[in-house]
Amino acid sequence: MASEKVDGFAFEQRHGKARVRLGRVWRSQSGGSHNFVEWTVGISLLSNCLAAYVRDDNSDIVATDSMKNTVYAKAKECTQQISVEEFAILLAKHFTSFYEQVTTAIITIVEKPWERVYVDGQPHDHDDAQELMFHIKLISCSGFKLGSEEHTTEVIVEKSGALRVTSGFQGLALLKTTQSGFEKFVRDKYTALPDTQERMLATEVTASWKYPFESLSAIPLQPSYFTERYLDVKKVLVETFFGPSKGGVYSPSVQNTLYQMATTVLNRFPDISSIQFKMPNIHFLPVNISSKDNPAIVKFDNDVYLPTSEPHGSIEATLSRIRAKM
């Protein structure tokens, strides 16, 4: 964010609208399936409205209520289903082109993970997941799932057409009951943790990856590009975490597993320039219970655990491609 000189000071400012809640249904004209999304949109505009701060002149301010209304108006204009990335780009392009004083638009979107319901083994042909919670009580069905992880994106568009797109997810809970250990770490007078080659490994992954596109003209034209890449990356990350279906893969630490996940993504997808992870080590503590009269009320044998949410280990890392110098 560029700073301006005001009364001998360097001044930076932006304004926007946070947590704009949006639900959008796309209904098939032929009477087939409906598609539904629920998004939380954030808007932040960098604009030439210094006068509002220093001279009580609001003539260059884009009202945040107008920003909120724009979200719903642009959603109405989208007659075909689009991804969170495409909608964020659409909004950012609008704000930087419609308002002369806006130099940069930053759009963030979080998508709630509604998934289609299957009834009697078949996808239900029109209801969204929330509506079907009532129907499930009345008819038999193969199952219902509201996913845990949320699809996220951040898009930055400048008036010049410069572009930055970041995709990701948050809240992907993963756990395996074996094939994990932690040993040969630093030991000192504060260390109580024993070495182990057999422990529970659980985490809640937050991941974000950046695309190399630097301008609006560089965005791939193929339909569903961002949605397909999002699903592909998530699939690769989960497969790398668990390993092959026969035998799995051993994890010597959360750090090593994180690195394997990151390198697999960059090696598999040349259109991703970097990937960042937050992977807390969520602890499941062995349960041993004894008393004076009974020394083995519960004796741990890799079977009974106490789940905990805090404190937890905190592991973060970013892996990026090294760009060749010209």
**Is-catalytic flag, 283?**
yes
**Six-digit token pair at 21?**
């809640």
Stronger pLDDT, 218 or 146, i.e. the higher one:
218
Per-residue pLDDT at 144: 28
Is residue 326 pLDDT above 60, yes or no? no
**Six-digit token pair at 48?**
């030439």
* Residue 140 burial (10 A CB sphere; 0-12, 13-18, 19+): exposed
Give dist(CA 52, CA 144) in Å, integer: 51
Per-residue pLDDT at 143: 28
How far is CA 182 from each of CA 197, 206, 305, rounded to the nearest angstrom? 6, 22, 17
Q: Which of 64, 177, 227, 264 is catalytic?
A: 64
Is residue 308 within 8 A of residue 281, CB to CB? The reply is: no
**Is-catalytic flag, 17?**
yes
For a pLDDT cut of 70, what percent of the chain falls above it? 89
Output DSSP code: residue 49.
-
**Is-catalytic flag, 108?**
no
Give dist(CA 205, CA 168) in Å, integer: 10
* Residue 52 burial (10 A CB sphere; 0-12, 13-18, 19+): middle
How far is CA 229 from each of CA 151, 166, 209, rounded to the nearest angstrom? 12, 12, 11
Residue whose C-alpha is closest to residue 87's, from 96, 79, 78: 78
Mean pLDDT of the chain: 90
Is residue 237 within 8 A of residue 262, CB to CB? The reply is: no
167-209: per-residue pLDDT in tens? 999 999 999 999 999 999 999 999 999 999 999 999 999 999 9
Per-residue pLDDT at 324: 65
Residue whose C-alpha is closest to residue 107's, from 74, 60, 147: 74
Which SS3 state, helix, strand or coil, does residue 131 take? Answer: helix
Tokens 């040349």 belong to which residue? 270
Q: Which of 112, 135, 283, 312 is catalytic?
A: 283
250-282: per-residue pLDDT in tens? 999 999 999 999 999 999 999 999 999 999 999
Task: Dihedral sign for Cα 252, 254, 256, 262, please.
Answer: positive
Residue whose C-alpha is closest to residue 215's, from 68, 89, 28, 82: 89
Per-residue pLDDT at 29: 73
Average pLDDT, integer, range 10-32: 89
For a pLDDT cut of 90, what percent of the chain falls above it? 80
Q: HSE on the CB side for 97, CA within 13 Å? A: 10
Is residue 60 within 8 A of residue 101, CB to CB? The reply is: yes
Entry pTM: 0.88
90-114: per-residue pLDDT in tens? 999 999 999 999 999 999 999 999 8
Is residue 93 within 8 A of residue 162, CB to CB? The reply is: no
122-165: per-residue pLDDT in tens? 665 544 444 444 343 333 222 225 678 999 999 999 999 999 99
Which SS3 state, helix, strand or coil, does residue 1 take? Answer: coil
Task: Dihedral sign for Cα 104, 89, 216, 79, please.
Answer: negative
Is residue 45 pLDDT above 90, yes or no? yes
Give dist(CA 122, CA 169) in Å, integer: 27
How far is CA 190 from each of CA 193, 197, 261, rounded to the nearest angstrom? 9, 21, 31
